[in-house]
Structure 1
């Protein structure tokens, strides 16, 4: 199968890489292949069914803070020095994901600026089918040993997800992100990655 969720062993390997970057319990990053994609809105994607207690995904600020998704801080919260340092660490850990998306968009130029009217439910289904087809072809070629040259990061990041408003996260989610942030920033100060 060309698109599947990583098994327990693979998730453990990924968690170890992220632990070495200061994110104890994180378990999602990309290594050039797309293992999963979500068809829902970013704010409604549910990860609680696949994450164990204390595990979480790192996300950009477009995602809502939950007990399983830890996003970067948005402004004005991102203006404090500790939050800026945390955002730096999240971006550093997530760069693999962004590169993979950039490679996918560079390989399949139809994904760069999809111009599609979404008037009917069928239109969105067509868009999702097209995206999924590109992901499958990308993974098939990667598995067959196809070498695709990466583009400059400026070319890879031509657009972005529009930021959604900060949701009303509960106290437990906020406290969880604070614990993750403090542990990550302390770890990265200790190994010399921080201060910026």
Structure 2
């Protein structure tokens, strides 16, 4: 949690966009540990600090949706959401969106803020250049491994570019204008 109020306010004021009465925040790839709600908690606090305390405006309704792969331990995530709802921040409606963030998860023009802290380094799949050529990612022969290193590195970089571009294209469709 960011405890510095000026840092929280920077989240709201860095955009000339005025927050609406209802805000949808999504954390993509939230996982299920103790940090699952840290980013969205900071965003909710920033909204509350800036609009309610500093500008003396009514609190926006905030809806928080946490996303991760369907195999995630969503029981732990739900417990985290209960803690968020019990905080002193504005009205928070919470939910879960299981699925890969390399596919559409939300309707067009619905998200105001998207967080993704420690998950974008995960690729959607093993690089095709390696799987189609049957180049193993692990090889006990040090000489062969060093010889293939440039091919493997290039394949992973190519897959990352492809995945990250897809991620940005999908989120561009889901974000509201100014989000």
TM-score (norm 1): 0.27
Give the number of the structure whose residues are more often helix, by fraction. Answer: 1
Q: Rg larger in 1 or in 2?
A: 2
TM-score (norm 2): 0.29
Give the number of the structure whose residues are more often strand, by fraction. Answer: 2
